[in-house]
Structures are given as C-alpha cells and as structure tokens.
Amino acid sequence: MKVVITGGGGFLGNQLARQLIKRGELTAPSGQVEAIDEILLFDTHLSDVAKAGLEEHSQTRWVTGDIADRDQVFSLIDRDDTSVFHLASMVSGECEVRFDDALSINLDGQRHLLEACRARSSTPRLVFTSSIAAFGGEIMPETVSDGTKRTPQTTYGVTKVIGELLINDYSRKGFIDGRSARLPTIIIRPGKPNTAASSFASGVLREPLAGQTCELPVDRSQLMPVLGYRDVIESFIALHEAAPDTLGDDRAYGLPSIQHSVAEMIESLEEVASSRDITLGEIVDKPDAVIQRIVATWPTATDGERAIKIGVPKPSTLMQIIDTYIDDFM
C-alpha cells in the first residue's frame, strides 16, 4: 500500500515517516493489514533536514508543490490502496495576517485532497490534523472535550473546525474513511522557531537546552495543554488503525494532554538539566501582546478519554518529554 503525508517537510511529517518505516504495515482501504511499499512526503519545500534519516529507504519519495493546486493534489493520490495523513497547514500566526492564503491552503487544499480520495475506487483512510484552536470564546470551559461547542476565535481555528466537519461528512457519505486528531500544543520541536503562536512552548525548553537565550512572549502563569512529539505520532497511527465501527458519527478526536503553566515547564526543565549536568541558556521575559492575545483564546486543558478508549496512548509526563528530546536530538 501507499501512504501520502502532506506537510511531509515538517518535523511531525518526518517523524511519522520514520515510524511508518519501522512499523512496515498499516490497515489498507481493503480492510486488511498490508505492507507499505511507498511513502510519499509532499510539501512546499523539502529540506535536507526534512529528509534526514529517510534517504536510505527505497520506499520513500518526496514531491514539492502547492496543496492549493488541484491537479497536483490529484496526482498524489494515484492508487486505490492509499492512506493519507494530512498534516499540511498554514499555522496560526500566519493565518491571522494572510487571510486569503489561509483559506486557499487550509480549506481549498483539504477539499482537493478529499476529492482526490473520493475519486478512487476504494475508500481511503485519511487522518486530518486539527487543533484545540477549534475552541474559544466566552462560553469555552477551562477543560474542553469532544462534546464542547467549537467557537474558534482565530482564522486558523475556523479552518480546522471546517476541516473536521468535512471529514465527518465525507465519511458519512462513504467517500473516505476519515479521522481527525485535535492536537494540543506539541513539544519539543527541534530546529528554529516558526510563526505558530504556540512556538514559544518548544522554544522555552529548546533554546535554553542549547545554551541559547529564549525570549518568552507570554506570561509565565499561562496554562497550556501540551503533548510530546512521540505521543502524537503514536496517536496518528492509532487513529488510522482504529476500526471504523468504533469511531461513531463524530470522527474528530481530541488528543489527551498534560496541563502545565509556563513557569512549571521551566521548573521541570531546570530539574532535568540539573540531573544531566546541562548548563541552561537564559530565559528573558519579552511580552508580545499579539501572541498573548491569541494564546489566551485557547483552552487550558483537554479531556482525551474518548480518544484513549479507541487506542490512543496516554500522554507522557513533562519530564519524560524533556528527557526524550535530549536523547533524540542532543
């Protein structure tokens, strides 16, 4: 079978490809477990870093292009025995300043992908990455669940909610076998910061571990639901493998997370660094009103019990996440 990973040039796309290579098989549209003979990573740009560790695997292919290009998207889904992990998205900060591009990439791109799957003679499985930015507003509770009303307060969140609803409807009609993973903030992402409003959550751990100064744009009391990168990759695969008859009519699953304030994240970082004899870089408070305003619209905790019931793993602790990052990337 073939696996297509959109957004394959990003960190999670790379990590997912690695895990699929190690696993070697998935449940195909046939309903049977089949060997993976092709993994196609698609993105606007595929750097050497994105390809790192994958070049020696003959089943891996890379294609660059624009997910808003309908013809190119259709060319990616060229086999009936295809599964899709749709990670491609414009991130939160960019969506706020590039509204038209946000609609083109996050909405039009997803619809092209859904239509390409619909055009096959099979019913491809598709895992879509949504976000807790789907929630917000005055009625939002402190802890959100799959039963919480989705009232996003950012363009990014709006596109994710629409994406979840499209996955539900295309699945209801039998065009695809879709599942949505609603992500909390994922940590710790290696490399440089990006324009996501949540980028600081990785930076406040990553930069000090590298001996660099971190400029913190939000208040240290800010509470956040976070999840380790290994856990989210396992969650993607668990959602893909879940039997269709266990999913119900709402195929959007909020992933479990752990809740911490930024101050608690820093305290855990200092404890791990001390145990490993790592000298940390300085963390400097540098408030950014735009980022603080966006983050303040998001929920501070998630209830992922519904996802856990269908096989999604329970989250690692914060100290485990930091230790894992050190082992994997330092």
Phi-psi region for residue 3, left (φ > 0), alpha (ψ -120 to 50) or beta? beta
Report whether 128 contacts 167 (CB < 8 A): yes
Residue 290: closest CA among 196, 185, 184, 157: 196
Cα–Cα distance, 116 to 291 (Å, whole number): 36
Which candidate, 143, 147, 183, places its Cα nearest to that of 163?
183
- Within 8 A by CB and 6+ apart from 57, the residues are 21, 39
To the query of whether residue 156 is one of the catalytic residues in this protein, the response is: yes
Q: Is 214 exposed, middle or buried (0-12, 13-18, 19+ CB in 10 A)?
A: buried
Residue 324: Cβ-neighbour burial (10 angstroms; 0-12, 13-18, 19+) = middle
The DSSP bridge partners found for residue 93 are none
Give yes or no for a contact between 297 and 225, defined as CB atoms under 8 angstroms apart.
no
Of 156, 170, 229, 253, which is the active-site residue?
Answer: 156
User: What's the one-letter identity of residue 44?
Assistant: T
SS3 17: helix
DSSP 246: G
For residues 114 and 74, give the distance between their C-alpha atoms in angstroms, rounded to a whole number: 9
Angle at 302 between CA 201 and CA 272, to 5 degrees: 40
Strands 38-43 and 33-35: unpaired
* Positions marked catalytic: 156
